[in-house]
Amino acid sequence: MTTSPDQIDPGVLLETAVNAGRAAGKLLLGFAQSGFRVHHKSPINLVTDADRAAEQLIIGHIRAQFPTHRFLAEEQGRVEQSPSPYLWIIDPLDGTTNFAHGYPAYCVSIGLEYRGHCILGVVFDPSRDELFTAIEGAGAQLNSRPIHVSSTATLGESLLVTGFAYDIRETPRNNLDHFAKFALKAQGLRRTGSAALDLCYVAVGRFDGFWEVRLNPWDMAAGSVIVREARGQLTDFSGTNLSIYGQELVASNGHIHQAMLTVLHEEPARSTPPG
Ligand code: IPD
Ligand code: CA
Ligand code: CA
C-alpha cells in the first residue's frame, strides 16, 4: 500500500479513537447511574443529556489531537473545519432508547473515513467492557483479540438480527414485511436496539446476519469496517457493496448472504382466502 504525505499512522488514529470511545463510555455509565434528562426529537425518537455530552467529549478529544479534521456526528450534524481528507463519523450513544430505559445494550461508535473510504472503526460497549476495533487491512479485534464471522452455512441454522427506524409509524418501508419472512426462515431473530453492536456481533460470530432499511452513516461507519475486517460481507439489498450513505444494509458471514438477499426480494406472502 502506498502512503500519501497527508496520511497519519493508523495506530495513532486508532489510539485516539479508543481513548475517546472509552472516555465517552465511562461518561455514559456515569449518566446511567446519576440520571439524565430525556428529550423527544419525535414521539419515539429520544435524545438524552448523555448523548449530547458524550458527543462533545469525543469531538473535543479528537480535535485536540487533530485540529484540522472534519466531523459528522449524530447530534450536531456535519462540522466542516477544513478540507482535511479525514472525516470522523460519530454516534456518541447508539441504543438511546435502551439507555433511556436502563436496558444495558448501547455503545459508542466512532468511524473514520480517509478520502471518502472508511478505514477505521471503534465500538465500545461500556456495560460489558467490550471494545471492538478494526483498521483496514489489519483485521478486527474484540478486547485486543482477533475476531472473525461465524461459519454457519444456512439461514435455517442462523441467528439473525434487525432493527426498525424511528419513522416506523409513518412509512410503508417499515421492515415489518421482512421481519415476518425472516422470522419463519431463521433459527432465531433478535432486535437489540443498537445497530453498531449488531454489526460487531456479526463480526464476532454471535449473529450470522443483520439487515436494516433506514440506517444513518453514524450507525454503520465503525461497525462496517469491523465486519469487513472480520471477513464478513456487506452490501445493500441489491447486493452492491455497502455505502454508509445509502441507508440499506445487509451484513453477514458471507455464507448466508445470498439467501438473505433472496428473502429480501421475495414478494410479500398473500393470505389465502378461506374456503
Ligand atoms: C438506532 C439504533 C437502532 C436502529 C435505529 C437507530 P440510536 O440508533 O441503532 O438499533 O434500529 O435505526 O436509529 O438512535 O439509538 O443512536
Ligand atoms: Ca444510532
Ligand atoms: Ca445515537
pLDDT in tens, 195-245: 999 999 999 999 999 999 999 999 999 999 999 999 999 999 999 999 999
Distance (angstroms) between ligand 1 centre and the Cα of 169 equals: 15
pLDDT of residue 44: 87
Q: What is the pLDDT of residues 243-264, one digit of tens each?
A: 999 999 999 999 999 999 999 9
Beta bridge partners of 162: 211
72, 77, 81, 84: CA torsion to nearest 10: 20
Ligand 1 neighbour 95 (Cβ under 6 A)? yes
pLDDT of residue 6: 81
**Domain residue ranges in the chain:** 10-146, 155-264
Give pLDDT, residue 265: 96
Over residues 177-200, the mean pLDDT reads 98
Instruction: Determine whether the shortest distance from the Cβ of 94 to ligand 1 is under 6 A.
Output: yes
Q: For residue 155, which phi and psi values (nearest 5 degrees)?
A: -65, -35
- Write out pLDDT tens, residues 97-151: 999 999 999 999 999 999 999 999 999 999 999 999 999 999 999 999 999 999 9
SS3 label, residue 73: strand
Q: Which residue has the higher pLDDT, 238 or 165?
A: 238
Q: Please indicate whether residue 163, judged by its CB atom, sits closer than 6 Å to ligand 1.
A: yes
* Fold annotation for 155-264: D-Maltodextrin-Binding Protein; domain 2 (3.40.190)
Answer yes or no: is the C-beta of 195 below 6 A from any ligand 1 atom. Answer: yes
Distance of CA 186 to the CA centre of its chain: 22
Q: What is the pLDDT of residue 271?
A: 47
Ligand number with the minimum distance to the CA of 221: 2
- What's the pLDDT tens digit per position in 18-76? 999 999 999 999 999 999 899 999 888 988 999 999 999 999 999 999 999 999 999 99
Ligand 3 centroid from CA 73, angstroms: 9
Q: How far is the CA of 139 from the centre of ligand 2 (A)?
A: 24
Q: Does the structure show a pLDDT above 70 at 273?
A: no
Residue 164 Cβ < 6 Å to ligand 1: yes
The predicted structure's pLDDT at residue 1: 46
Nearest ligand to residue 195 Cα: 1
Q: Which fold has domain 10-146?
A: Fructose-1,6-Bisphosphatase; Chain A, domain 1 (3.30.540)
At 82, is the pLDDT very low, low, confident or very high (cuts 50, 70, 90)? confident
Gap from CA of 252 to ligand 2 centroid (Å): 19
Residue 224 near residue 250, CB atoms below 8 Å: no
Q: Closest ligand 1 atom, CA of 214?
A: 12
At 213, list the grid cell. 432499511
**C-alpha–C-alpha distance, residues 84 and 269, integer Å:** 49
Rounded CA gap, 104 and 32, in Å?
9
pLDDT tens-digit profile of 124-139? 999 999 999 999 999 9
| For range 166-172, the mean pLDDT | 88
Return the residue whose CA atom lies nearest to atom 12 of ligand 1: 165
Report residue 77's pLDDT band, with 50, 70 and 90 as the boundaries.
confident
pLDDT at 159 over 70: yes
Give the cell for residue 79: 462540522
- CA–CA dist 183, 32 (Å, integer): 33
For residue 94, the CA-to-ligand 1 centroid distance in Å is 6
Its pTM stands at 0.95
In single-letter form, the type of residue at position 139 comes to G
Which residues neighbour 199 within 8 Å (Cβ) at sequence distance 6 or greater?
Answer: 123, 210, 220, 222, 223, 224, 226, 227, 251
